[in-house]
Chain A
C-alpha cells in the first residue's frame, strides 16, 4: 500500500508542480480556472484513450515509432509552455497599463484560452496515462483491493497537497514578483522538457550527433531520488547530460527569451 502511494505521488508531482505554477500565474485572468478545469478534463480523457491504446497494442512494432511519438509530445508541451510564458509577458504589460483598475480582472483573448487549455491537457496526458495504466496494472494483480485503493488515494492526495502548497506558496511569498518567479520557473520547465526529448532522440539513435555524456554528477544528486526528480522537473537536472541535451536546453531558453524581448518591445511601441 505504502509503495503504491509513493509511486502515485511521484507520478502526480509533475502535474501538481506545473498546474500549481500555471494557476498562480493566471490568477488575474478572468475565468482562468474554468479553462484549467477544461484542460484537465480533456487531458484526462486523452490519457484514458492513450492508456487504452497502449493496452490494445501490447507489442510495439517498428524501431523508432514510439521514440519519435514520445519526443514529439514532449517537444510540443515544451513549445506550449514557452508560448504561454511569452503570452504572459503581454498581459503583465496590460496589468501595468491598467494599474488604476487592478481590481478588475483581465479578459484573455481566445488564443490564450486555447493555450491555457492545451498546456494543462498536455501535462495531464503525459503523466495521466501512466497513472491510469499503473492503477489498471495494480488492480489486475493479486493485491487486496482495499490496499491499493488506499494507496492510490494516499498518493493522489499527497500529490494534490504539494500542488496546493506550491500554489499558495507562490502567491503568498512572491507578491509582486510573482510574474518574474513563475516566468523563470516555466522557462526552466520548458527547457527541461526540451532536454528530455533530446535525451530520448539521441539514446534511441534517431539523432546520432553529440550523444556522448559530458559529465557525471550522480555522486552529488542522483536522478532517481525524489530530490533529483524534483530538480529534473524544475530545472532539467540530469546527472549525465549529453551535448545534444545541452543544445536543446539552451536553445529553448534563448528562444523563449528572444520571443519575450520581441513581444515586450512590440507592446511598448504600441503604448508609446
Chain B
C-alpha cells in the first residue's frame, strides 16, 4: 500500500520538475564554421534558463569549453550538442573551442533588462 503512494508521489514530483524545465527557457543556436563561432557574441537576459544548441558545421571534432561556465563538451564533426545552463548573473562569460583556440573564441554577455 505504502509503495503505491510512493510511486504516485514520485510521478507527481517528476511532472513538477518537467513543468519547471519547460518554463522560461531561452534557446540559443550557436554554429561552428571554419573553427569559428557564429555568432561569437551572444547577448542574453538574466533570470532565464538557457539552452545552448551548439551545431558543428565543420567536419572536424571540437570541444565546447568554458571555464567561466564550468563546462566542457565534445562536439563531433557535423553534429549537434545541447548545453543546459542555469540562469546567469550579469557579466561576461567567455567560451572557446578547445581544439582550435586561436580562432574559436566567443562570449556570452548577460545584461539585466531595464
Contact = CB atoms under 8 A, between A and B. Distances in A.
Contacts of A202: 70, 86
Interface in B22-60: 49, 51, 59-60
A63 B86 contact: no
Contacts of B81: 59-60
Nearest to A66: B73
Contacts of A196: 70
A136 B80 CA distance: 17
A133 B74 contact: yes
B57 to A, nearest CB: 13
Contacts of B68: 240
B14 interface: no
A196 B83 CA distance: 16
Contacts of B79: 58-59
A200 B71 contact: yes
A224 to B, nearest CB: 6
B8 to A, nearest CB: 23
B11 interface: no
Nearest to B98: A7
B16 interface: no
B76 interface: yes
B89 A212 contact: yes
A205 B85 contact: yes
Given A141-B60, A204-B85, A238-B67, A130 B99 contact: no
B80 A59 contact: yes
Interface residues of B, number: 30
Contacts of B82: 60-61, 63, 66
Contacts of A43: none
B91 to A, nearest CB: 8
B61 interface: yes
Interface string A196-238: 1001101111001001110000000011100000000000001
Contacts of A203: 69-71, 85-86
Given A212-B89, A240-B68, A63 B99 contact: no
B10 interface: no
B49 A205 contact: yes
A222 B85 CA distance: 22
A38 B67 CA distance: 33
Contacts of A100: none
A130 B63 CA distance: 9
Given A203-B86, A205-B86, A141 B59 contact: yes
Nearest to A4: B99
B7 interface: no
A5 to B, nearest CB: 13
A228 B69 CA distance: 16
A216 B83 CA distance: 24
A137 B86 contact: no
B61 A137 contact: yes
B70 A199 contact: yes
A4 B82 CA distance: 26
A248 to B, nearest CB: 12
Given A58-B79, A66-B73, A240 B99 contact: no
A55 interface: yes
Contact of A63 (B69, B71, B84, B87): B84
What are the 8 A-B residue pairs with the smallest beta carbon separation, nearest first? A137-B61, A205-B86, A199-B70, A58-B79, A223-B67, A141-B60, A203-B70, A204-B84
6 contacts: A54-B74, A137-B99, A140-B59, A196-B70, A200-B71, A240-B68
